[in-house]
């Protein structure tokens, strides 16, 4: 399959904006269309762990949302499953493997051709973190797999109003016991 997404992306992208959003949608649309033509039900993309972490920070810093790229996704039209087989693999391991196997690098003249791309800056930040704090990226990726909705503030993910109904509180304790409980609470606030 060969398509000219380069010139279409350049034409559709407003002056001063990055190509990334238009280009990724065009490429994905082309892949979905080709998958349907050949009767495939899954589309595999090459995003790796570091791409997922960078996307998380792009959304956090610039989109105001806590989201990244899942390893498996149902397309919005519900016709294709998108998979990312390298989702749990570090970029540096893929680079080492590609060098060992002598895989050719196919350059893209569009990706990274613009100055001051946020993704490029984030990738630099992640590489610096990985060098200075070798376990940090592993910890961040682990956090993306260990989400606690009750510890965030999204009312669609967690019903905070229902907490009052679920609370267990012993109203039968005597006055002396209640005074002790209140003293403990007051002490903890005084300590702050």
At 86-108, the pLDDT tens digits run 999 999 999 999 999 999 877 66
Scanning the structure block, which residue is given the tokens 């016709």? Answer: 79
Q: Would you say residue 182 has pLDDT above 80?
A: no
Q: Tell me the CB-side half-sphere exposure of residue 116, using CA atoms within 13 A.
A: 2
| Mean pLDDT, rounded, for 173-180 | 68
Tell me whether strands 42-44 and 81-83 are parallel, antiparallel or unpaired.
parallel
Distances (CA, A) of 182 to 168, 188, 189, 190, 192: 17, 10, 11, 12, 16
Determine if the pTM surpasses 0.95: no
Q: What is the pLDDT of residue 124?
A: 92
Q: What is the DSSP letter of 105?
A: P
Q: Would you say residue 192 has pLDDT above 60?
A: no
Q: Crossing angle for the helix pair 5-12 and 20-38, nearest 10 degrees?
A: 140
Q: Would you say residue 175 has pLDDT above 70?
A: no
Domains within the chain, CATH numbers bracketed:
5-187 (3.40.50.620)
Q: Residue 44 in contact with residue 83, Cβ under 8 Å?
A: yes
Q: What is the pLDDT of residue 5?
A: 76
Q: What is the DSSP letter of 72?
A: E
Q: What is the pLDDT of residue 185?
A: 59
Q: Residue 63 in contact with residue 21, Cβ under 8 Å?
A: no
Least reliable range by pLDDT among 34-43, 46-55, 173-182: 173-182
Q: What is the pLDDT of residue 158?
A: 92
More confident residue, 105 or 50: 50
Over the stretch 56-83, which tens digit does the pLDDT of each residue have? 999 999 999 999 999 999 988 888 899 9
Burial of 122 (0-12, 13-18, 19+ CB in 10 A): buried
* 110: confidence class by pLDDT, cuts 50, 70, 90: low
Over the stretch 115-167, which tens digit does the pLDDT of each residue have? 668 888 999 999 999 999 999 999 999 999 999 999 999 999 999 888 878 77
> Token pair for residue 161?
């109003």
Q: Would you say residue 9 has pLDDT above 70?
A: yes
Q: What is the pLDDT of residue 164?
A: 78
User: Helix-strand-coil percent breakdown of the chain, rounded to 5?
Assistant: 55, 5, 45
């Amino acid at each position: 399959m060969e398509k000219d997404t380069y010139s279409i992306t350049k034409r559709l992208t407003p002056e001063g904006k990055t190509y990334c959003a238009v280009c990724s949608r065009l490429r994905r649309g082309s892949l979905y269309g080709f998958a349907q033509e050949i009767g495939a039900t899954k589309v595999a993309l090459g995003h790796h762990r570091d791409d997922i972490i960078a996307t998380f920070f792009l959304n956090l810093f610039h989109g105001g949302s806590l989201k990244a790229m899942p390893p498996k996704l149902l397309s919005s039209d519900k016709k294709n499953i998108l998979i990312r087989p390298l989702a749990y693999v570090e970029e540096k391991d893929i680079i080492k493997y590609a060098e060992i196997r002598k895989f050719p690098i196919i350059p893209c003249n569009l990706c990274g051709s613009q100055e001051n791309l946020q993704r490029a800056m984030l990738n630099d930040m992640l590489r610096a973190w990985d060098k200075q704090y070798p376990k940090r990226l592993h910890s961040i990726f682990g956090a993306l797999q260990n989400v606690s909705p009750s510890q965030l503030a999204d009312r669609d993910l967690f019903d905070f109003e229902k907490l009052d109904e679920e609370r267990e509180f012993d109203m039968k304790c005597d006055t002396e016991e209640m005074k002790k409980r209140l003293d403990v609470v007051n002490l903890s606030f005084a300590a702050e």
